[in-house]
Structure 1
Amino acid sequence: MRRVWSSVLSVFLLVFLLGAPAQARTVSTGKVAATGASHPAMQQADGAPYDADNPPDRLRVLVALGPSTYFLKDGRPHGLEFALLQGFESELNRRRTKGRPPIRLQFIPVDAGELIPALREGRGDIAAGMLPYSDSLKSLIRPTEPYAQDQWCLVSHRDNPLTFDQLGQKALTLNSASYGRRLLAIEGKEVALDEPPQGSNAEMLLRDMNQNPALQSLSSRWVYRLWSATYPSLKLSECLNNTVSLVWGVDQDNVALADDLNRYLGSKNRVTMEKAIELTRRFLISGAQIERSDKISSMDKLAIFAPIFQAAAAANNLDWLLLAAIGQKESKLTPMIRKNGPTGVMQVNPSTARAMGIRDPHGNEGNISAAALYLNYLRKMYSREGISEDNQLYFMIAAYNAGEGRLQQLRRKAKAQGLNPNIWPGHVEQIALQSVGRNMVDYVSTVNRLYLAYQATEKARNKQLDSK
């Protein structure tokens, strides 16, 4: 039971409360939506090779989940890699044909060690995680031109500034996965190394050094600059000689996408690392640990609702993290009770609850159960229609937002216009944008983003617990 609750808390601590709740809406059958048992990787609409003159509506970015690279705060994505690649998304949309849905980068957070394997397995189109260029990297993927040059430097407390010659018997504290270890070996620096506590990351080491003058470490110059205002007692001193080129990666055969990224990096519209730091710094999460939050009430909320989410999901063969993501979007996990219209944590219409056999739509258990029952109903319906699992999830979320009947109308309209009524990205989505507006499209995108982040954090947390 302790493991379940610990995992529950860690998931919510990454994704804090989302903005305002979704507006009340009427669903054709009075029902509400849910999602599938696991989140598929977002696929391009047609699987065709990348065409710079006609980019796909979706590009999947495998991004390293971390306090500097990519994180969610108040339900919104931030991080250096997010800021850098938002410029690429904007560049793609500047040359987009008017009337077409906007191109969106779908960020899929993964552990940093999974970036390259996931890209090679085809689970994403771009790998982003402050990747250092090397010949060995080039043998695995196609790297872009560098988007920044980095250095690794000694960092210590201001009361104890150091150079490599002054280290003496003092040890550097470095994570086992730190790229600084490789650079030390390349430059022949013989330095004693200590391992930090298990589960630590580079940003947490900066936090610890800010409080403890006896500690010293190596840090990326960019990461240090990002956190320097948060940890003002730190001092950057001597740097290693070798500079490190930071790159993105694509599949080795995806020359066109690499060329398009390189054109962006060479353009005046590119987001520089300095700008990315400026955009990210004010959203940094205190403690340099994405699972942590000072908002105890936020932790309590998911701890309260998690057992209900889990029970309702298990009864309907759903992923409880999907229910949590929808509840987050709908109400910030704060039940809003209405006698008429959407109500409760999942904002279910009372008529929906009755159609699902739930008498009390206002109580938490009945409200969440009604949502889970309806999502299961939608999934079965779309499965019978031969819709792929990927698109079942899209349609379930879309129907949850706009109504089952409205979605059917959009699908019929898509078919009439020569689009595929069984595919959301670039097909039914395009009709939704024209007929309903951006809110519906953004709703589907936001819930998917939250769901992906929940799953990534849960996986990372379970991996950490298994290692103990």
Structure 2
Amino acid sequence: MCIRPGLLGWVAAGALLSAAGLPAQPVTEDDSDALTAEELAEDALTAAILAPWTGDLDGMIKRGYVRIGVGDEPVFFFYDGPEPQGITVDIAREFEKHLRATLGKAAATLTVTLAPITRDRMLDALVDGEVDILAANLTITPARSERVDFGDPTLTGVSEIVVTGPAAPPVATLDDLAATRIHARPSSSYFEHLATLNAARTADGRDPIPVVAADGNLDDADLAELVSAGVLPAIVLDDHKARLYAEIYPDLTLHEDIAVHEGGEIAWAIRKDSPQLKQAINGFQDKAAKGTEIGNILFRRWFGDAERVRNAIAPGEDTKFSETFGIIRTHAEAYDFDPILIAAQGYQESGLDQSVRSRAGAIGIMQVLPATAADPNVAIPDIETADRNVEAGVKYLRFLRDRYFSDPEISDLDQALFAFAAYNAGPRNIAKARKRAAAMELDPNRWFGNVEVAAARTISREPVIYVRNILKYYTCYTIYQTAQNAD
């Protein structure tokens, strides 16, 4: 694999952090969810910038800005407070300098702005004129090339290799993969290339490789963490990403000689019929080596001290689930929640351990504060027992959902996710994050890729990591339940 000198010579990576469970937040809060005048002014400007517009670089110079769409992933682009961080931020600054230096006086004040976009909307956002460039580690594929154009590759010779963990059988060849399962997001190039590979295998009379559609809200980093923890047996990753993840997760095994696709190219995407912008991108010849160095530094800084997600269905841990799930199911169903989601939250909070006590005074499986349990909106005594503890935690979740997130335009799943986030960070903080998401032209009714971005900006990444970990543990328990039902 070679890195083209200049454009975006760095490696993007995703969040693998784990937030420790915090006590359920008090029912009554005094902090306001109103946006400040400065936030309102900033968000009004953001809305104006993201208004649909299509055109080439000459039009962008007249408007005064170039909009780059990015994915919200730590190291790549992320918020942990009001200012964006990540490799793309550094690269965007260099691209802005390049444009100003090469386009003359007319571009002396040209600004490059970054806009986080969910991966399922990226191509639509570009084609519809919400952004002008996508810098999101996109592999050039025939399907994508039908809709958009690409600049010169920033990375070439990329192989999509098999990555296994402790749950996988021995794998020496592609044929061995027929005995295991590979998880991949349907929106990924990995899924597309696995489908192509299986079509060829079927035509040759060989068994196809079992491919499981991964939850679209789990990014490459999440899936790598689940493989390392022994929850998932195998995934596919770009080789440059896989090498970085292996530095953080020693239980990953990289099969660099087993590729489902080779010779891949990664590039910035632009709208078709944008020759001026394409020329400017291809001429951007700065910071390639530094970009790679920055990527490694940020990667280690982000993941170095992170608590890892555990395998919630490992021997011993699965016993905790079996012993507590009856209680959890009773109260989850009584308050209209998915029992497996509640079990996942309980594992995030305490490891499903009723004996856990926090320094803040939170108690038990759901880490409920006595003041929360005593509040009239909850009013559950004896939270020192597992049964009443779970009931108090779930009843509080139901209160949060009904009071703050009952809008019928919010899906049942997102109502639960918002309630989890509020359980961790407080309901008014999440209400404010929803307002900020709307002002950022994100969907205030969706958590993943939308309100979680605003929450990281207005609060911190703590509630983001908390909810994402619940999704990972939900994946653990879903796999466990499926296996149990099959026996």
1:283 is displaced (CA, Å) by 4.6
Separation in structure 1 between the aligned mates of residue 55 and residue 253 of structure 2, nearest angstrom: 50
Separation in structure 2 between the aligned mates of residue 214 and residue 32 of structure 1, nearest angstrom: 47
Q: 1:459 to 1:157 in 2, by over 3 A?
A: closer
Q: 1:194-213 counterparts in 2 under 5 A?
A: 194-196=212-214, 199-212=217-230
Q: 1:254-403 counterparts in 2 under 5 A?
A: 254-264=274-284, 267-270=285-288, 274-275=292-293, 277-284=295-302, 286=306, 302-303=425-426, 305-306=428-429, 309=432, 320-321=435-436
1:227 is displaced (CA, Å) by 2.5
> CA offsets per residue over residues 341-360 of structure 1, 9 Å max, x none?
xxxxxxxxxxxxxxxxxxxx
Out of 253, 259, 263, the residue aligned to residue 239 of structure 1 is: 259
Q: 1:30-41 counterparts in 2 under 5 A?
A: 33=38, 35=40, 40=47
Q: 1:33 to 1:262 in 2, by over 3 A?
A: closer
**2:272 maps to 1:252:** yes
> CA offsets per residue over residues 57-111 of structure 1, 9 Å max, x none?
4211111233464222344434454454443223234457699875432111111
Report the equivalent of 2:184. 174
Separation in structure 1 between the aligned mates of residue 175 and residue 153 of structure 2, nearest angstrom: 31
Name the stretch that deviates more: 269-278 or 132-141. Answer: 269-278
Native 8 Å contact 1:43 1:58 kept in 2:
no
Q: 1:61 to 1:83 in 2, by over 3 A?
A: same
1:158 is displaced (CA, Å) by 6.9
Separation in structure 2 between the aligned mates of residue 110 and residue 57 of structure 1, nearest angstrom: 21
Name the stretch that deviates more: 119-128 or 278-287. Answer: 278-287
1:234 is displaced (CA, Å) by 1.2
Between the two proteins, the alignment pairs up a number of residues equal to 299
Report the equivalent of 2:159. 151
Separation in structure 1 between the aligned mates of residue 182 and residue 282 of structure 2, nearest angstrom: 37
Q: 1:132 to 1:54 in 2, by over 3 A?
A: same
Out of 54, 60, 66, the residue aligned to residue 59 of structure 1 is: 66
Native 8 Å contact 2:94 2:286 kept in 1:
no
Q: 1:195 to 1:74 in 2, by over 3 A?
A: same
> CA offsets per residue over residues 385-443 of structure 1, 9 Å max, x none?
xxxxxxxxxxxxxxxxxxxxxxxxxxxxxxxxxxxxxxxxxxxxxxxxxxxxxxxxxxx
AA in 2 matched with 1:123: E
Q: 1:301 to 1:47 in 2, by over 3 A?
A: same
Name the stretch that deviates more: 115-124 or 60-69. Answer: 60-69
**2:96 maps to 1:89:** yes
Report the equivalent of 1:226. 244
Native 8 Å contact 1:154 1:239 kept in 2:
yes
> CA offsets per residue over residues 314-346 of structure 1, 9 Å max, x none?
xxxxx73279xxxxxxxxxxxxxxxxxxxxxxx
Q: 1:100 to 1:178 in 2, by over 3 A?
A: closer
**2:90 maps to 1:72:** no
Q: 1:228 to 1:459 in 2, by over 3 A?
A: closer
Q: 1:272 to 1:156 in 2, by over 3 A?
A: farther
Native 8 Å contact 2:161 2:259 kept in 1:
yes
Separation in structure 1 between the aligned mates of residue 87 and residue 296 of structure 2, nearest angstrom: 9
1:212 is displaced (CA, Å) by 0.9
1:256 is displaced (CA, Å) by 0.4
Higher relative contact order (CA 8 A, sep 6+): 1
1:226 is displaced (CA, Å) by 3.4
Native 8 Å contact 2:444 2:451 kept in 1:
no
Native 8 Å contact 2:167 2:230 kept in 1:
no
Report the equivalent of 2:234. 216
Native 8 Å contact 2:437 2:450 kept in 1:
no
Q: What secondary structure is seen at the aligned counterpart in 2 of 1:140?
A: coil
1:50 is displaced (CA, Å) by 1.6
Native 8 Å contact 2:167 2:232 kept in 1:
no
RMSD: 4.7
Q: What secondary structure is seen at the aligned counterpart in 2 of 1:177?
A: coil
Identity of aligned residues (%): 13
Report the equivalent of 1:384. none
Separation in structure 1 between the aligned mates of residue 424 and residue 108 of structure 2, nearest angstrom: 36
1:258 is displaced (CA, Å) by 0.9
Report the equivalent of 2:119. 112
Native 8 Å contact 1:52 1:260 kept in 2:
no
1:132 is displaced (CA, Å) by 1.7
Q: 1:228 to 1:52 in 2, by over 3 A?
A: farther
Q: 1:47 to 1:196 in 2, by over 3 A?
A: closer
> CA offsets per residue over residues 28-67 of structure 1, 9 Å max, x none?
xxx95452787515169x9985249968642111112334
AA in 2 matched with 1:178: S
1:281 is displaced (CA, Å) by 0.9
TM-score (norm 2): 0.50
1:191 is displaced (CA, Å) by 0.5
AA in 2 matched with 1:251: R
AA in 1 matched with 2:429: A
Separation in structure 2 between the aligned mates of residue 185 and residue 128 of structure 1, nearest angstrom: 25
Separation in structure 1 between the aligned mates of residue 213 and residue 276 of structure 2, nearest angstrom: 42
Q: 1:112 to 1:276 in 2, by over 3 A?
A: farther
> CA offsets per residue over residues 175-204 of structure 1, 9 Å max, x none?
222321222233335201234457322211
**Which structure 2 residue ranges, 5 or more long, are not aligned?**
1-18, 20-35, 202-207, 310-344, 350-358, 361-420, 453-466, 475-487
> CA offsets per residue over residues 262-304 of structure 1, 9 Å max, x none?
111xx25446763453253135365799xx999x999889526
Native 8 Å contact 1:143 1:248 kept in 2:
yes
**Which structure 1 residue ranges, 5 or more long, are not aligned?**
1-12, 14-30, 311-318, 324-447
**2:194 maps to 1:184:** yes
Separation in structure 2 between the aligned mates of residue 75 and residue 322 of structure 1, nearest angstrom: 13
